[in-house]
Chain A
Amino acid sequence: GDSVTQTEGPVTVSESESLIINCTYSATSIAYPNLFWYVRYPGEGLQLLLKVITAGQKGSSRGFEATYNKETTSFHLQKASVQESDSAVYYCALGDGTGYQNFYFGKGTSLTVIP
């Protein structure tokens, strides 16, 4: 089936350290998967962090980046130096690219950055 698996949380990192949150997907019924990272800050709704709709491409935003790797079916989120303000829950999502864009979400990874 179609699904997303991501790093189990919670994850705690010290400020200025590097971060990687792993995401792998299964898209057995989706011809052209679209991949997304959403972030939910405390008290807020989910908001788009970055998206990539073409295999082999990299998306980036706010110092985060992720590369759509079709061979390894992965879309890992990385940041070279995290800040305390990056503390949030991060969701990897797989979209089917159709008109109504059904999404398959990972369970979310809670990140705490220690100053």
Chain B
Amino acid sequence: EAAVTQSPRSKVAVTGGKVTLSCHQTNNHDYMYWYRQDTGHGLRLIHYSYVADSTEKGDIPDGYKASRPSQENFSLILELASLSQTAVYFCATGTSNTEVFFGKGTRLTVV
């Protein structure tokens, strides 16, 4: 069974603080993605990666960095968290032209 594990599952962060969201996969998929979902919006792509040590910007990359140190791990980094970054974040993995497999999500609240 494909598995995408996100940690933490929820987090409260202080405005201006640094936040790191982690994602680990056992699917051995090349592609990894970070999406965010806000109330009343669909999922929007923040960053993605198709190979270790390389990341690409998605549709809404501002305020976020990403890191892919290995095939299995993909992190999303908020260097200076802001109130507007309160959202649910989803990590996903996939191969070319297939479905993507999602993690259970991380609920981030910035106060």
- A residues with a Cβ closer than 8 A to B are 4, 36, 38, 43-48, 51, 91, 97-108
A99 with B97, Cβ < 8 A, contacts A45-B103, A45-B105 known: yes
B82 to chain A, nearest CB (A): 23
- Say yes or no: A108 contacts B42, CB within 8 Å: yes
- Say yes or no: A102 contacts B45, CB within 8 Å: yes
Of the candidates B45, B50, B99, the one having the most CB atoms from chain A within 10 angstroms of its own CB is B99
Which one, B31, B42, B90, contacts A101 given CB within 8 A?
B31
A32 to chain B, nearest CB (A): 10
How far is it, in angstroms, between the C-alpha of A45 and the C-alpha of B100 when the chains are bound?
A: 11
Which one, B31, B99, B101, contacts A51 given CB within 8 A?
B99
- Say yes or no: A106 contacts B90, CB within 8 Å: no
- Say yes or no: A107 contacts B42, CB within 8 Å: yes
- B residues with a Cβ closer than 8 A to A are 4, 31, 35, 37, 40-45, 48, 50, 58, 90, 92, 94, 96-105
How far is it, in angstroms, between the C-alpha of A101 and the C-alpha of B95 when the chains are bound?
A: 8
* Shortest 4 CB-CB contacts between residues of A and residues of B: A105-B42, A45-B102, A46-B102, A105-B43
B71 to chain A, nearest CB (A): 15
Complex: chain B residue closest to A108, CB-CB: B42
How far is it, in angstroms, between the C-alpha of A97 and the C-alpha of B40 when the chains are bound?
A: 26
- Say yes or no: B43 contacts A45, CB within 8 Å: no
How far is it, in angstroms, between the C-alpha of A105 and the C-alpha of B4 when the chains are bound?
A: 20
- Say yes or no: A103 contacts B100, CB within 8 Å: yes
